Amino acid sequence: MSRYFTEDHEWIDVDGDIGTVGISEYAQSQLGDIVFVDVPEDGKELTKGDEAAVVESVKAASDVYAPASGTVLEGNPALSDTPELVNEDPEGDGWFFKITLSDPSELEELMDESAYATFVSKL
């Protein structure tokens, strides 16, 4: 499985043509305590860069963008009852949605973990 990051602090784990998307540890730390997550509906078509989900914290609301184009397979059902999963495990159980990639070549424009760590260190 490969993991990529966007400059907007989304991550995508890719296994074949399926991507699992969430927000980075850095993003959740900037948001603070997360109180609500709105994930996309199953079957929704997303284009890279589209607003895909919304995350609300005690500090702010923020959009989560699609790191690649495709069709939503499922939103994370656990987040409706337990949005704090994003704080507890943002790069694991706190994932937002799964997508079937329509153009895997878009991943080439994203950062790998070391490039993302360098990017965040300069913020």
- In the chain, what are the helix, strand and coil shares in percent, each to the nearest 5? 25, 40, 35
Q: Which domains does the chain have, with CATH numbers?
A: 2-108 (2.40.50.100)
pTM score > 0.85 for this model?
Answer: yes
Q: Across the chain, which distance is largest between two alpha carbons, in Å? A: 37
Would you say residue 28 has pLDDT above 90? yes
Confidence class for position 97, pLDDT limits 50, 70, 90: very high
Give the integer Cα–Cα distance in Å for 92 and 59: 23
Question: Which residues, including other chains, have CB under 8 Å from residue 108's CB and lie 6 or more apart?
Answer: none
Q: How far is CA 80 from each of CA 4, 36, 66, 108, 118, rounded to the nearest angstrom?
A: 25, 7, 19, 32, 33
Q: Residue 41 carries which DSSP code?
A: P
Q: What pLDDT was estimated at residue 1?
A: 78
Give the integer Cα–Cα distance in Å for 98 and 120: 25
